[in-house]
Structure 1
């Protein structure tokens, strides 16, 4: 069963073409700059959010072995007061989906999409489900033409990647910072596995995109542009290098006071990378 925070029927920014995106709940990073912090921690069903809901869309079901929050989606106005009430920044509005139920959602939207992207949170934390879903898609004659992509922070082990690779068409990997110290400061984790993942995916021609989130004065891409350019320049020329601009939407805590990234900041970083031979740069189409 997948713990799903949202299913987006159509997206043109989560991989190539038009895609159905499945956002899984739970993440092993604690990024200060996370735009969706409620996707980090799975709900522990404490019930604190129930009284905060003005539509009575949340209830506590005590019939099972453990009490569980039940979300009545038909009553929900998506005011997100429940998210504000949660002290753990979790999301009670998640759903449990089997592989077959996810396939049903895919079939409903089949005429409008040419691929599936599983995102998060961190999608690789539910690796058995992702493998089972992608395997089922590849085995179904009506769905096998759909490309299967993973949106990831790159923390999956090499063993995990080898299990997924036979069913994976491509991955978009976030490189949050170049230096270990900076990466640890932003995410709470080091980036050793991220580099391992990028290397392995590139070797197997499954690396679609490396994404760099530019946070002026915080992330170190501009300070480490020589080493970064040398590294990116060794990747296959088909790999997209996507520059994203930090903004404050959804951000809480310390990072809410970090400087926003403007178009001039992105253009300057892009020029520095380009001058050092980095190709296939993708810049934001919108700046907030």
Structure 2
């Protein structure tokens, strides 16, 4: 196993140092919730946000004893084994764009391998990435699923510890280049679920990401850190109401509620 990894840059949004391996948190070889169809999901270690409601908090640190270095070659070999049963590959995290050179090399290898070339290649991202990162990834990607934690900058800081300016900038670019596959809204009661906030979020998406599917996700406490366990999970009726408020702005045919 290699003794070097694609260590995330200390500068938020910058392209990390290019090295021949990635730092892996885990893989899920068959998933129906990380993009369309049956997907192989690569969860990379390290994130540039510190989300209160994160459902994979163990992937936030830049390195942990659980994470391991993997090469592009061994990752492709494992994917090749399951390729006949897959629709595509999703690279998630953590934050996939922090290891952009590894993701780019992986997607290029998957594209060029006859056994995996038909699989779609998606990035699941929080959007905190620079144009330099997107310049590297977009030519090799079929699309990006973007998490919008909050439209309001103060609420975004409250939920993630960071500004949302790079997220909105990424959304605009991805939508313009027809690479925005889905916008994901995690609605956290007491934080970003106010009627006016949902209305303004829907209006923003209708303007900046017209025609893009929106997945409205009601907060659930499973797997979150202790600080988030005090947040009540919305009822089914409440989640449905979140969806209706977004759908009223972007179109019901574009909205899925989970």
Same fold (TM over 0.5): yes
In the aligned structure 2, how far is the partner of 1:276 from the partner of 1:202?
17
1:156: how far off?
0.8
Root-mean-square deviation (CA), in Å? 1.4
1:221: how far off?
5.5
CA contact under 8 A between 1:177 and 1:221: conserved in structure 2?
no
Of 83, 96, 116, the residue aligned with 2:89 is 116
Matched, 1:33 2:56: no
Matched, 1:281 2:255: yes
CA contact under 8 A between 2:44 and 2:91: conserved in structure 1?
yes
Matched, 1:264 2:237: yes
TM-score normalised according to structure 2 size:
0.87
Structure 1 gap ranges (5+): 44-90
Matched, 1:2 2:22: yes
Of 54, 58, 65, the residue aligned with 1:92 is 65
CA contact under 8 A between 2:83 and 2:115: conserved in structure 1?
no
Alignment of 1:162-201 (within 5 A): 162-201=135-174
Structure with the higher helix share, 1 or 2: 2
In the aligned structure 2, how far is the partner of 1:110 from the partner of 1:225?
39
CA contact under 8 A between 2:192 and 2:198: conserved in structure 1?
no
Counterpart of 1:230 in structure 2 is 203
Please identify runs of 4+ aligned residues in structure 1 that moved more than 6 A: none
Give the aligned length. Answer: 236
1:252: how far off?
1.8
Aligned to 2:145, the other structure's residue is in SS state: strand
1:206: how far off?
0.9
Q: Rg: which structure is higher?
A: 1
